[in-house]
């Protein structure tokens, strides 16, 4: 009896505690989510801290700055950042920008958008001061656009060139006794190398070397123009890694001076006309964006539909472009009388072919009724390029990774793994010559392999013929730059795959000009989940992962890699390898 009294008392206490906790949490969330009016003081400095993951759209963290779990989760919404910098350049309350950037989690194409916005800010006669203890190659590229670049006396700047890293899965398959069944078209073999080899082929090494040299050449050109240094000299500094410490960074002209933080504050006070002990009015990006008044209502709208992540069927999640949901967004924009032009903003390595084709169909229908412009961000390859190729104009950054026009099919024969590792075997009966074409419990027959190869070839013909029609070039010419080959934005423009080298703002301007709009508003789609929804989803995912780690132990790493590969089952229009350019 005492046991049940104790148990019921403890259970009741748990229920009450849970209720109160949830009540308080949602009360806090409601208060934090309420519209906050922010007033910017005169003589203020916009403080940009850009060491965070960049996403296309912004999701504000209502817990930021609070001593609770989740408060340290930070992202930078690229498009919101650009909008804020455009506003700040004509805001009389903002005197300049204090830029902190050491290791941003973004590729060069995304950072090019940031850098160009900073240059545009300076063009209004305002100043930017950049400071950090350490700067990666990407960070320095952005910081070099500032009026002054300062470095901690014990800090360092990385300027030693780029490298690209690819993950290979062959040894994973060997350990698990899983045999990949691969079907491809074209002469370019790099598309399926991660499944067949444990290192790059000579052809792939050549392709990627040309790619990163194209990107790096443009990076050095930009740094040289900002720092008044010859590109050839910068190449020498980089190739020989002449900058090994903070003193070298000053000697070779990469930074202006070595200062501790208090010295930087003194520099800022001098620019603001403040005394040595007077407080500097810093305002962070997230608060500054709340100070901006909503744009005036316009009966004309440019709809920006953002495709960010891997393309898969369905509605999608964070980091996944759901083909059905995205197609619906394009359809709604096409049918809306208010929407006069559409910009498809793409940051995707591609994914499932059918989902890519469904979105292409909606882009094609929309382009018949109103201007549709593609704006390529960091990556717009394979299925990502598929999404762009029906647009009226394709705009890409010089650093954008694009192309990869091709398809491949991967299936996995896990019969040896299941039988030898787990002791599970399978048998089947069937009505004809062909069994389950997607099964992984047995090897494919020769007849089934012929079917898959034919399917892959047919889809490649579909992809290339539609791409050729979209680019208004003969299919034979299009195929010369296809076969899954990856290009930089510069290389793609030289080969007719891209129309204009530029950024998001250029795409908006082109869309407005094409629709003959002088007065218009810009609206982003689809709606991103609020931060709290993402956080709760992440907590649930963390619990699932924790359980798996306990169950699998050291084998969890193999499971994680297998889950990554499993997404590639079937016919794919994607970059099969993830390019890590650093």
DSSP string, 340-407: EEEEEEEEE-EEEHHHHHHHHHHHHHHHTTS-EEEEEEEEEETHHHHHHTTSSEEEE-TT-EEE----
CB atoms within 10 A of CB 430: 8
The answer as to whether 270 is a domain residue is yes
**Three-state SS sequence of 227-248:** HCCCHHHHHHHHHCCCCCCHHH
Kind of pairing between the strands at 570-574 and 350-352: antiparallel
Looking at the fold, whether 519 and 441 belong to one and the same domain comes out as yes
Residue in 317, 270, 300, 347 with CA at minimum distance from that of residue 503: 347
Residues of the domain holding 407: 301-581
Residue finishing a domain among 291, 324, 359: 291
d(CA 377, CA 113): 9
Residue 33: its pLDDT value, please? 47
CB 383 within 8 A of CB 312: no
Q: What pTM value is reported for the model?
A: 0.84
What dihedral angle (degrees, nearest 10) is formed by the CA atoms of 115, 116, 118, 124?
160
Looking at the fold, whether 454 and 541 belong to one and the same domain comes out as yes
The answer as to whether 23 is a domain residue is no
Residue in 347, 329, 349 with CA at minimum distance from that of residue 339: 329
For residue 219 the two structure tokens come to 């990076």
The answer as to whether 30 is a domain residue is no
- Please tell me whether the peptide bond between 526 and the residue prior to it is cis, using omega within 30 degrees of 0: yes
CB 407 within 8 A of CB 428: no
570-574 β-sheet, strand order: 179-184, 408-413, 570-574, 350-352, 310-312, 320-322
Residue finishing a domain among 263, 291, 319: 291
d(CA 529, CA 520): 26
Kind of pairing between the strands at 372-381 and 320-322: unpaired
Looking at the fold, whether 306 and 262 belong to one and the same domain comes out as no
DSSP labels, 513-582: HHTT-SS-EEEEESPPPPHHHHHHHHHHHHHHHHHHHHHHGGGHHHHHHHHHHHTTBEEEEE-SS--EE-
Q: Give the catalytic positions in this structure.
A: 189, 382
Residue 34: its pLDDT value, please? 47
Looking at the fold, whether 335 and 432 belong to one and the same domain comes out as yes
DSSP state of 445: P
Looking at the fold, whether 349 and 276 belong to one and the same domain comes out as no
Residue 186: its pLDDT value, please? 65
Q: What is the mean pLDDT of the chain?
A: 86
The answer as to whether 183 is a domain residue is no
Looking at the fold, whether 318 and 273 belong to one and the same domain comes out as no
d(CA 129, CA 119): 12
Residue 121: its pLDDT value, please? 97
3-state SS class at 305:
strand
d(CA 436, CA 430): 9
Residue in 110, 127, 2, 125 with CA at minimum distance from that of residue 57: 110
Element (H, E) at 118: helix 108-122
The answer as to whether 175 is a domain residue is no
Residue in 377, 510, 500, 309 with CA at minimum distance from that of residue 78: 377
Structurally, how many domains does the chain consist of? 2
**For the domain that residue 275 is a member of, what is the CATH number?**
3.90.226.10
Residues with pLDDT less than 50, the chain: 3, 7, 16-20, 23-24, 27, 30-34, 66-71, 73, 531-532, 536, 539, 541
d(CA 27, CA 412): 50
**Three-state SS sequence of 43-76:** CEEEEEECCCEEECCCCCCCCCCCCCCCCCCCEE
Looking at the fold, whether 311 and 432 belong to one and the same domain comes out as yes
The answer as to whether 536 is a domain residue is yes
Looking at the fold, whether 386 and 534 belong to one and the same domain comes out as yes
Looking at the fold, whether 245 and 378 belong to one and the same domain comes out as no
Residue 550: its pLDDT value, please? 64
Looking at the fold, whether 273 and 130 belong to one and the same domain comes out as yes
């Amino acid at each position: 009896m005492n046991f049940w009294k104790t148990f019921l008392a403890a259970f009741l206490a748990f229920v009450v505690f849970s209720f109160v906790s949830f009540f308080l949490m949602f009360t806090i969330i409601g208060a934090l989510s309420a519209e906050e009016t922010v007033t910017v003081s005169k003589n203020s400095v916009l403080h940009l801290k850009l060491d965070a993951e960049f996403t296309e759209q912004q999701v504000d963290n209502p817990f930021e700055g609070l001593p609770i779990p989740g408060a340290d989760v930070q992202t930078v919404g690229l498009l919101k950042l650009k909008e804020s910098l455009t506003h700040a350049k004509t805001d009389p309350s903002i005197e300049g920008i204090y830029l902190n950037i050491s290791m941003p989690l973004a590729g060069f194409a995304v950072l090019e958008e940031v850098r160009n916005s900073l240059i545009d800010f300076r063009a209004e006669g305002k100043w930017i001061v950049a400071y950090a203890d350490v700067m990666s190659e990407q960070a320095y590229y952005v910081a070099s656009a500032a009026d002054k670049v300062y470095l901690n006396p014990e800090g360092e700047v990385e300027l030693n060139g780029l490298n690209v890293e690819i993950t290979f899965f062959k040894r994973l398959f060997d350990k698990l006794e899983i045999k990949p069944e691969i079907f491809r078209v074209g002469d370019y073999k790099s598309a399926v190398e991660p499944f067949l080899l444990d290192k790059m082929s000579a052809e792939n090494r050549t392709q990627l070397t040309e790619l990163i040299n194209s990107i790096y050449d443009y990076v050095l050109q930009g740094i040289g123009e900002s720092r008044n240094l010859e590109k050839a000299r910068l190449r020498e500094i980089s190739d020989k890694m002449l900058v090994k410490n903070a003193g070298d960074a000053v000697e070779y002209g990469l930074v202006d001076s070595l200062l501790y933080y208090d010295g930087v504050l003194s520099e800022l006070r001098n620019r603001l006309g403040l005394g040595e002990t007077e407080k500097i009015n810093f305002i962070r990006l997230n608060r500054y964006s709340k100070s901006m008044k909503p744009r005036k209502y316009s009966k004309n709208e440019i709809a920006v539909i953002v495709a960010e992540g891997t393309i898969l069927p369905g509605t999608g999640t964070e980091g996944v472009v759901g083909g059905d949901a995205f197609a619906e967004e394009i359809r709604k924009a096409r049918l809306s009388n208010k929407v006069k032009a559409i910009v498809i903003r793409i940051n995707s390595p591609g994914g499932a072919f059918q989902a890519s084709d469904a979105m292409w169909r909606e882009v094609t229908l929309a382009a018949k009724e109103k201007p549709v412009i593609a704006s390529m961000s960091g990556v717009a390859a394979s299925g990502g390029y598929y999404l762009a190729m029906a647009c009226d104009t394709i705009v890409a950054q010089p650093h954008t990774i694009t192309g990869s026009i091709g398809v491949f099919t991967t299936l996995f024969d896990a019969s040896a793994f299941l039988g030898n590792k787990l002791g599970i075997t399978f048998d089947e009966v069937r009505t004809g010559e062909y069994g389950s074409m997607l099964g992984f419990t047995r090897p494919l027959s020769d007849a089934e392999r012929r079917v898959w190869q034919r399917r892959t070839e047919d889809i490649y013909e579909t992809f290339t013929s539609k791409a050729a029609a979209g680019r208004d070039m003969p299919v034979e010419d299009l195929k010369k730059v296809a076969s899954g080959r990856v290009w930089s934005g510069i290389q793609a423009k030289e080969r007719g795959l891209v129309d204009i080298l530029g950024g998001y703002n250029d795409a908006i301007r082109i869309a407005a000009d094409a629709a003959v709009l002088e007065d218009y508003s810009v609206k982003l789609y689809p709606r991103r989940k609020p931060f709290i929804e993402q956080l709760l989803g992440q907590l649930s995912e963390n619990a699932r992962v924790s359980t798996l780690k306990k169950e699998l132990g050291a084998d969890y790493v193999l499971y994680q890699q297998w889950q990554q590969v499993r997404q590639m089952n079937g016919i794919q229009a994607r970059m099969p390898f993830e390019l890590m350019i650093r």
